[in-house]
Amino acid sequence: MQDRAKYEYAIIRIVPKVEREEFFNVGVIVFSRPKKFLKMKYHIDQKKLGSFVCEKDFEALNAYLKGWDLVCKGEATGGAIGKLDITDRFRWLTASRSTIIQSSITHSGLTADPEQELETIFKDCVL
């Protein structure tokens, strides 16, 4: 029990037309400061995407999400945000925004294995 630490997560959504407020889940981002863990996993279901009127195509959305992943990993190619510390990167990625890619509110829990939480939440909420 003592190896369990607080973690937070948010669901990553595509909002094809922001003004319509319709969305579908494409990923999850999990953060645990005590475990020094920040990782995201995503998958765009092209069939779902095709059922919405969307201003961006699959390739553009995938490129945006790859950018989010670079920030998440703290890579130099993630730009100025990618150079921030782990907590600030998570907060930036999960901040409220009115764009085609958004995140849910953050949720929290306790875990010994944030990687396993990422996989479980991804399976339950995205696939």
Nearest to 9 by CA among 72, 64, 55: 72
Domains of the chain: total: 1
pLDDT at 4 over 80: yes
Q: Which domain holds residue 53?
A: 5-125
> The pTM is what?
0.90
| pLDDT, tens digit (0-9, with 9 covering 90-100), for 42-65 | 999 888 888 877 777 888 889 999
Looking at residue 1, what is its pLDDT? Answer: 55
Which one-letter DSSP state was computed for residue 4?
Answer: -
Q: What is the mean pLDDT of the chain?
A: 91
Q: What is the DSSP string of 76-91?
A: GGGHHHHTS-HHHHHH
Model confidence pLDDT, tens digit, residues 84-124: 999 999 999 999 888 889 999 999 999 999 999 999 999 99
- What is d(CA 24, CA 109) in angstroms, rounded to the nearest whole number? 23
